[in-house]
Amino acid sequence: MTATKGLEGIIAAQSSICSIVDGVLCYGGINVDELAEKASFEEVVYLLWNGKLPNRSQLDELNKNLGENAAVPKEVIDSIRSYPQGVHPMAILRTAVSLLGLYDQEAQDMSAEANLRKSIRLMAQTPTIVAAYARIRKGLEPVDPDPKMSLAENFLYMLTGEKPSETAIKAFNTALILHADHELNASTFAARVTVATLTDIYSGIVSAIGTLKGPLHGGANEAVAAMLAEIGSLENVEPYIRHALDNKQKIMGFGHRVYKNGDPRAKWLREMSKALTKQVGKEELYQMSVKIEEMVTSEKGLLPNVDFYSASVYTALGLESDLFTPIFAISRMSGWTAHIMEQYENNRLIRPRAEYTGPVNQHYIPIDQR
């Protein structure tokens, strides 16, 4: 047996949820371009969970269930108030989601019906947790979710207490769709490995959140936002990027292990960045991003991935950069729960082997002879 570093190129599971073939990303066989253009995020959630798009009554039922389950137990909100200042929001989310499992009476019910109900609650409550923490750390009271709003609109509403613009809702809905699932990425794989032991769904989601927290996975768009802030202006882009390239420094938001000819999601976020930054008077953010892309692509041959333009999109929406990865988690909750339910349906403990590289033919030496 020979190891492949990072399991690159290894087929580790079969799945009918999401595919990436010849650089084309599909959910349930539907090109993500079609979904980004035409679908609501709730339709995509249903698609990932059921393998087909919902009809009107099925979508209405899902929307109703999501709205009715968006409120978070008071004990979880009270716990968030007690968390120390300065903690990364992904650590907050990881802990709060774990707490949700303590207050869910069905947490240990492993039936398919109970796991679907838990998936609905997780999908509905994750935006509420992120928005509540965003306000609590500023000394503000959380805004209760509105059961009549879509997931995209409700999250933006709970952040500010004000109804967001249609442009903001549409942009955020599209961003949620683009981040919803991505085949067997690191956090999804972590979730499937966890629940393959037949532990509960909350344990699987906590594993996924902990994995997404890393800068090589979900934290990349936050790093892009930090880079844009450090550059500061369009005129500083060229010397900054030139210095980074000359010193072989990694520029976040470029390249992807799966996509060799560009991330298909990036073009959508690029257009959203252009429109949103213009609407809010922050066009320089988009212009800086375009200049960075031109330089990195020209010099390194690397194309932007989903994280690169999402940084300027979320900044234009008024979101703080350390909330970018929790927002990623809000979207990816749809894919994580879909993969967990699929794993439960046809489960086998995931237990790969390792290529041993240590010493051989060793013997025990008494301690006074060492």
Would you state the pLDDT for residue 215?
83
Catalytic pick among 200, 263, 307, 339:
307
Of the candidates 316, 333, 363, which is a domain's last residue?
A: 316
Q: Is 307 a catalytic residue?
A: yes
Mean pLDDT for 145-149 is: 97
Would you state the pLDDT for residue 255?
82
Residue in 179, 155, 205, 193 with CA at minimum distance from that of residue 48: 179
Of the candidates 316, 332, 363, which is a domain's last residue?
A: 316
Would you state the pLDDT for residue 204?
98
Q: Note whether 91 and 24 are same-domain residues.
A: yes
Residue 68 has pLDDT above 80, yes or no: yes
Would you state the pLDDT for residue 309?
92
Q: Left (φ > 0), alpha (ψ -120 to 50) or beta: where does 244 sit? A: alpha
Q: Note whether 178 and 288 are same-domain residues.
A: no
HSE-CB of 212 using CA atoms within 13 angstroms: 36
Q: Note whether 86 and 203 are same-domain residues.
A: yes
Q: Tell which wins on pLDDT, 305 or 141.
A: 141
Residue 99 has pLDDT above 90, yes or no: yes
Task: Classify residue 259: in a domain, yes or no.
Answer: yes
Q: Tell which wins on pLDDT, 329 or 22.
A: 329
Q: Note whether 239 and 104 are same-domain residues.
A: no
Task: Classify residue 356: in a domain, yes or no.
Answer: no
The single-letter DSSP state of residue 5 is G
Q: Which two tokens stand for residue 76?
A: 């979880």
Task: Classify residue 172: in a domain, yes or no.
Answer: yes
Task: Classify residue 337: in a domain, yes or no.
Answer: yes
Task: Classify residue 150: in a domain, yes or no.
Answer: yes
- C-alpha angle 76/79/84, rounded to 5°? 140
Condensed to tens digits (0 to 9), the pLDDT of residues 181-191 reads 999 999 999 99
Would you state the pLDDT for residue 261?
78
Task: Classify residue 203: in a domain, yes or no.
Answer: yes
Catalytic pick among 179, 182, 256, 339:
256
Residues 242 and 249: their CA atoms lie apart, in Å, by 10
Of the candidates 316, 331, 356, which is a domain's last residue?
A: 316
Task: Classify residue 362: in a domain, yes or no.
Answer: no
Task: Classify residue 353: in a domain, yes or no.
Answer: no
* Strand (E) or helix (H) holding 125: helix 112-136
Would you state the pLDDT for residue 2?
80
Q: Note whether 95 and 157 are same-domain residues.
A: yes
Q: Note whether 205 and 77 are same-domain residues.
A: yes
Condensed to tens digits (0 to 9), the pLDDT of residues 263-284 reads 899 999 999 999 999 989 999 9
Mean pLDDT for 131-142 is: 97
Domain harbouring 296, CATH code: 1.10.230.10
Q: Residue 314 in contact with residue 225, Cβ under 8 Å?
A: yes
Sign of CA dihedral 266, 272, 277, 278: positive
Condensed to tens digits (0 to 9), the pLDDT of residues 28-48 reads 999 999 999 999 999 999 999
Number of structural domains (the chain) is: 2
Mean pLDDT taken over the chain: 94
Q: Note whether 330 and 257 are same-domain residues.
A: no
Range of the domain at 90: 15-214+322-345
Q: Letter for the amino acid at 293?
A: E
Q: At what angle do helices 89-102 and 74-82 cross, to 10 degrees?
A: 140
Q: Letter for the amino acid at 216?
A: L
Mean pLDDT for 335-343 is: 98
